[in-house]
Amino acid sequence: MEEETEDEKLAIIGSYASARMAHEAGLSVLACGQPYWVRIVEGRYLLVVLGEDARRLKREVDETEAKNRFWPPRGLDLSAPSTAKWPTAGLVGLLVVMFALQNEFPALADAGLNSREGLIAGEWWRVLTAVSLHADVGHLAGNLMGLSLFAYLSCRYMGSGLAWTLVLLSAGLANLSNALLRASESFSSLGASTAVFAALGLLAGYPVGSYLRARVEIQTRDWLVPFFGGCVAFAWMGGGEFPTDVAGHVWSFGYGSLFGAAAAWSGLSKRLGKVAQGGLLALVGLGLLLSWLLALGTI
């Protein structure tokens, strides 16, 4: 836009919604060594320059705006749909209760641990019940700390219901994959470490999905740093007995990253309301309850 004003020596080269935007555009004029003025007309802020240089200055302003249209870079929308701590506290507390019951009734471990032989026999619930069993206090304590941190942060990103659903789904798939791919050996495992690394995977994958979903350029560090941070944390903590523990951790981190990215990319985490989140959380509880009822039926 270029319009002559009543004063033939001046020309309007831009119209802006705010004084700040007009003055930011005026910086390009100043960079050319020319003065500018901002006038308010009918709620718009007009950028006014000397008429003799109007075309050149208009071109400079347009080029600068084109170069800086994505500046400052847009950050990822990592909102916090849920800050409630009780779902995570409740599920973590459930692990403590199960450990106490497991010590009181040792048969629970045999009925609920992840087993290749059991899965082949159709006992699918083992991939879920194994998540709530632990070998000893140290094993339990480490997983409690991991879930308290990573699962809660996942809940802040996508809501408690969706986060815990994806954590349990990822852990279950990891247990299934880890068991069935060992066709030539006897295999069994237990522990919530698959859930811990599934939650870590959600945290690593969610920013990647947000980056893929964004319709404008965003800062690379907003998704690359969290993703590689998750990979570093996984490399640091993902050890254990090889190949049983390591393979399970790799599978759970991989599934978690995939589901986290998908949840962000699809926008699912932002479309679910409180009722839907509560429903998913109830589904997690029902899934664990049903799995244990089926497991108890084998004792």
pLDDT in tens, 1-45: 545 444 558 899 999 988 988 998 999 999 999 999 999 988 899
CATH number at residue 19: 3.30.70
Same domain, 253 and 194: yes
Question: Is there a domain that residue 75 lies in?
Answer: no
Segment 278-293 shows an average pLDDT of 95
Report, as an integer, the average pLDDT of 66-83. Answer: 62
pLDDT band for 277, please (50, 70, 90 cuts): very high
Q: Could you read off the pLDDT of 245-270 as tens digits, one per residue? A: 678 888 999 999 999 999 989 988 88
Domain boundary among 36, 67, 98: 67
Total structural domains within the chain: 2
Burial class (CB in 10 A: 0-12, 13-18, 19+), 134: buried
Evaluate whether residue 205 is within a structural domain: yes
Residue 56 in this model has a pLDDT that exceeds 70: yes
Domain carrying residue 27: 3-67
Looking at the domain assignment, is residue 261 inside a domain?
yes
Given this model, what pLDDT does residue 242 score? 46
User: Does residue 224 have a pLDDT over 50?
Assistant: yes
Shared domain check, 261 and 115: yes
Residue 216, pLDDT score: 55
Digit-coded pLDDT (tens) for 156-202: 888 999 999 999 999 999 999 988 887 667 778 888 889 999 999 99
Same domain, residue pair 167 and 271: yes
- pLDDT above 90 covers a percentage of the chain that reads 46
Q: Assess contact for 263 and 277: CB atoms under 8 A.
A: no
